[in-house]
Amino acid sequence: WKAPDAHGIQMGFVRRGWPVLREWITHLFKASVNLGLCPTRLKASDALPTLKPAKKDKTSPKSYRPVEHHGEALAKPLERLVAKRISHEAETLGHLREEQFRGRPGRSTQQA
């Protein structure tokens, strides 16, 4: 969250400005979810190669992993909101099989 977005805005700025920005951001997120649309600018991201901590060979492609860097500071919070909403709906409406453990709150693959 420390890396600035494409416009130089850091998430810390959004957090500090939350009392002023809350109404606008809430409206944007609600409209996005209710309409089932994501603003085009929030979809843009780059995959940046990042050296894995345990790897020392910087010449090997296997030593790197992609880290997604969103072009907009608000992309990740909207992504989390949508993911939580989908997860909640799937749980409450019974769309997941009882054998499904991975990615579900309160369950672990060790229980499988």
Instruction: For residue range 29-64, list pLDDT tens digits in order.
Output: 899 889 988 888 777 777 888 889 888 898 999 999
pLDDT at 23 over 90: yes
**Top-confidence residue, 72 or 26:** 26
Measured CA to CA, the distance from residue 83 to residue 29 in angstroms comes to 13
Q: Please give the C-alpha separations between residue 82 and each of 38, 50, 54, 90, in angstroms, as whole numbers.
A: 10, 27, 33, 12
pLDDT at 111: 64
pLDDT at 112: 59
Calculate the CA 32 to chain-centre distance: 15
Number of H helices, E strands in the chain: 4, 2
| Share above pLDDT 70 across residues of the chain, in percent, rounded to a whole number | 90
Calculate the CA 77 to chain-centre distance: 6
